Amino acid sequence: MRRAAPLALLLLGACTALAPAARTDLSLAPTPAGNASIEPIDPATGTAQHFALGAGVPGEWWKQFGNPALDALVTRALAANNDLAVADAALRQARAQAGVAAAGQYPQIDASYQAQRARVANLIATPLADPNATLYSLHTAQVTVAYPLDLFGAVATRAQSARYAAQAAQFRLGAARTTVVANLVQAVIQQASLAEQLAAARQAVEANREVLVLLRRRRELGALGSADVATQEAALAAAEAAVPALERAQLRQRAIISTLIGQAPGTALPDLPASLADLHLPAELPAAVPSALVVARPDVRAAQAAMQGAAMDVGTAIAARLPAINLTASYGGTATSFSDMFGPGNLFWQMAAGFSQPLLHGGALLNQQRAARAAFDATRAQYRGAVLLAFADVSDALAGLHADARILDAAARADSAAARSLSNLTRQLELGAVGRVEAQAALAARANAAGALAQARAARLADTVALYQALGGGVVPPAAR
Per-residue confidence (pLDDT) for residue 127, from 0 to 100: 65
For residue 111, the cross-strand partners are 143
Per-residue confidence (pLDDT) for residue 20, from 0 to 100: 65
Residues 162, 306 contacting (CB under 8 angstroms): no
Average pLDDT over residues 457-475: 91
CB burial of 462-480 (b: ≥16 within 10 Å; e: otherwise) equals bbbbbbbbbbbbbbebeee
**Residues 187, 250: Cα–Cα separation, whole Å:** 10
Averaged pLDDT score across all residues of the chain: 85
**Residues 80, 452: Cα–Cα separation, whole Å:** 35
Q: Residue 230 to residues 237, 238, 413, 441, 442: CA-CA distances in angstroms?
A: 11, 12, 32, 16, 18
Per-residue confidence (pLDDT) for residue 481, from 0 to 100: 40
**Residues 287, 394: Cα–Cα separation, whole Å:** 9
Per-residue confidence (pLDDT) for residue 93, from 0 to 100: 96
Average pLDDT over residues 467-471: 92
Q: What is the DSSP string of 17-37?
A: HHSPP--------SS-GGG--
For residue 146, the cross-strand partners are 108, 328
Q: What totals of helices (H) and strands (E) does the chain contain, helices first?
A: 9, 6
Q: Is the pLDDT of residue 270 over 80?
A: yes
**Residues 247, 227: Cα–Cα separation, whole Å:** 31
Q: Is the pLDDT of residue 453 over 80?
A: yes
Per-residue confidence (pLDDT) for residue 29, from 0 to 100: 40
Average pLDDT over residues 346-369: 91
Q: Is the pLDDT of residue 253 over 90?
A: yes
Average pLDDT over residues 169-188: 95
Contact residues for 35 (Cβ-Cβ < 8 A; gap 6+):
395
**Residues 336, 115: Cα–Cα separation, whole Å:** 9
**Residues 469, 394: Cα–Cα separation, whole Å:** 9
Q: Residue 7 to residues 12, 322, 338, 391, 481: CA-CA distances in angstroms?
A: 9, 12, 48, 48, 44
Q: Which amino acid is at 202?
A: R
Beta-carbon-side half-sphere exposure of residue 347 (alpha carbons within 13 Å): 6
Per-residue confidence (pLDDT) for residue 30, from 0 to 100: 42
**Residues 260, 279: Cα–Cα separation, whole Å:** 19
Residues 180, 260 contacting (CB under 8 angstroms): yes
Residue 20's CB is within 10 A of a number of other CB atoms, namely 16
Per-residue confidence (pLDDT) for residue 287, from 0 to 100: 84
Residues 23, 258 contacting (CB under 8 angstroms): no
Average pLDDT over residues 215-241: 81
Helix (H, G, I), strand (E, B) or coil at 333: strand
Residues 323, 414 contacting (CB under 8 angstroms): no
**Residues 446, 411: Cα–Cα separation, whole Å:** 11
Average pLDDT over residues 244-250: 94
Average pLDDT over residues 140-169: 92
Instruction: For residue 133, name the pLDDT band (cuts at 50, 70, 90).
Output: low
Of 10-19, 34-43, 71-80, the least confident: 10-19
Q: Is the pLDDT of residue 124 over 80?
A: no
Contact residues for 9 (Cβ-Cβ < 8 A; gap 6+):
none
pTM: 0.83
Q: Are strands 324-335 and 135-149 parallel, antiparallel or unpaired?
A: antiparallel
Fold (topology level) of 26-105+161-322+386-470: Outer membrane efflux proteins (OEP) (1.20.1600)
Q: Residue 473 to residues 176, 247, 390: CA-CA distances in angstroms?
A: 10, 31, 12
Contact residues for 238 (Cβ-Cβ < 8 A; gap 6+):
none
Per-residue confidence (pLDDT) for residue 5, from 0 to 100: 38
**Residues 234, 212: Cα–Cα separation, whole Å:** 10
Q: Residue 13 to residues 63, 151, 326, 371: CA-CA distances in angstroms?
A: 53, 11, 21, 22
Nearest to 272 by CA among 201, 185, 182: 185
Average pLDDT over residues 339-365: 88
Q: Tens digits of per-residue pLDDT, 414-450? A: 988 888 887 777 777 666 655 556 766 777 788 888 8
Per-residue confidence (pLDDT) for residue 246, from 0 to 100: 94
Contact residues for 169 (Cβ-Cβ < 8 A; gap 6+):
87, 90, 91, 93, 94, 95, 302
Average pLDDT over residues 81-102: 95
CB burial of 246-279 (b: ≥16 within 10 Å; e: otherwise) equals beebbeebbebbbbbbbeeeeeeeeebbeebebb
**Residues 24, 138: Cα–Cα separation, whole Å:** 62
